Amino acid sequence: MAVSRSASVHFSATPADRPVYVIGAGPGGLAAAHALRARGIRAVVLEKADRVGASWRGHYDRLRLHTTRRLSALPGLKIPRKFGRWVARDDVVRYLEKYADHHELEIVTGVEVFRVERAGDGAGWLLHASGGRELTGSAVVVATGYNHTPRLPDWPGRKEYTGELLHAGAYRDAAPYAGRDVLVVGVGNTGAEIAVDLVGGGAARVRLAVRTVPHLVRRSTLGWPAQYSGVLVRRLPVRLVDRLCRIQAKAAVPDLSAQGLPRPDTGLYSRVLEGAVPVQDVGLIDAVRKGKVEIVAAVESFEDGKVALADGSRIEPDAVIAATGYARALEGLVGHLGVLDGRGGPVAHGGRTPVEAPGLYFTGFTNPISGMFREMALDAAKIAKALARHLRTRR
């Protein structure tokens, strides 16, 4: 079984016993810990929750991986075939639990790391954690997750709004919204899926507020998953991929301009490199085409109990669900080390380490066209290889 210890465990900070600390027991952290252990490097995973896969446990009920089971497995353990091609949320959690046990990973739950800084002797890293703990490690892998902290825009009038307003991170299922008028804000994958879920769950009216028109792709076309195409084209020139995607979209996705979703005027891959992944269709296209999901303008403010939209209209839904994304929330943890870019993400990830911080690695902070789980699996091997070389050089 995985070695799971309570927060009261004593950690040695002596030079002879400085493990690599992995912060976060999600898929990226677990994969990295296994890859390090496979190279004979002791890795201790620190998780602030009481179980592995905490973020996945908190997602909405209907969520499934948008990537195939075969290309979503982490190193050293396949995802069971019985979970199907598109793995459900609860099965992802089961897989992560099994992964930790199967590889006998050393995991300490109930420990939150607040700040990482260089050790006083210059030979490693000092982690400041909950309960006043100070843990010294030979290296650190940050795997706290792409979807860490819910981000709710500071819309004018939001704090005075008395209607029901929640972030998508608090949404679980459509049951509380049956027979109600609901506005979903944001047309990323989360917003699109919640809108479809609300329609299926009996909401009286579902509107989807859109600021930037997304690229819509079929999750699978004639049995060929979109992820496979993403893997094949990832290393091709951006302009070429944009052109190919434009052709494919015209063939596979109907023109929804009349319903308020015109085709984007920017390239799909160009947008991915800017951080905006395409929306995989799990029912949104048909729902919009049939008028079950109404597209409206972006939210500008909240005024007198109503929602003011960018086109000047005012609406008064029964509930507003903000699918407005998450922040990486790395500033307090490592922001003082000069290792973050202008958007709060790490300047280096995978096997590359920031020039200013050798021995500090990041995984799970990109959302590539080829799939996040697949990327974290690749990152794990790269981190283990680079870290082994780093430790040998230091010795």
DSSP 96: H
What pLDDT shows up at residue 223? 87
**SS3 state at 309:** strand
0.85 exceeded by pTM: yes
What pLDDT shows up at residue 3? 52
What pLDDT shows up at residue 108? 97
What pLDDT shows up at residue 274? 85
**SS3 state at 326:** strand
The rounded Cα 394 to chain-centroid distance in angstroms is 33
- Cα 71-75-77 angle, rounded to 5 deg: 85
Contacts of 122 (CB under 8 A, 6+ apart): none
Q: Which of 61, 327, 99, 366 is nearest to 230 (CA)?
A: 366
What pLDDT shows up at residue 393? 80
Q: Which of 271, 256, 283 is nearest to 194 (CA)?
A: 283
Q: Which of 175, 219, 211 is nearest to 191 (CA)?
A: 211
**SS3 state at 353:** coil
Q: Which of 350, 348, 344, 324 is nearest to 332 (CA)?
A: 344
What pLDDT shows up at residue 11? 38
What pLDDT shows up at residue 146? 82
Residues of the chain under the 50 pLDDT cut: 1, 6-16
How many whole angstroms separate alpha carbon 326 and alpha carbon 345? 12
What pLDDT shows up at residue 361? 97
Task: Give the domains, in start order, of the chain with CATH numbers.
Answer: 3-148+328-394 (3.50.50.60), 151-322 (3.50.50.60)
What pLDDT shows up at residue 12? 34
- The answer to whether the beta carbons of residues 47 and 54 sit under 8 Å apart is yes
What pLDDT shows up at residue 235? 87
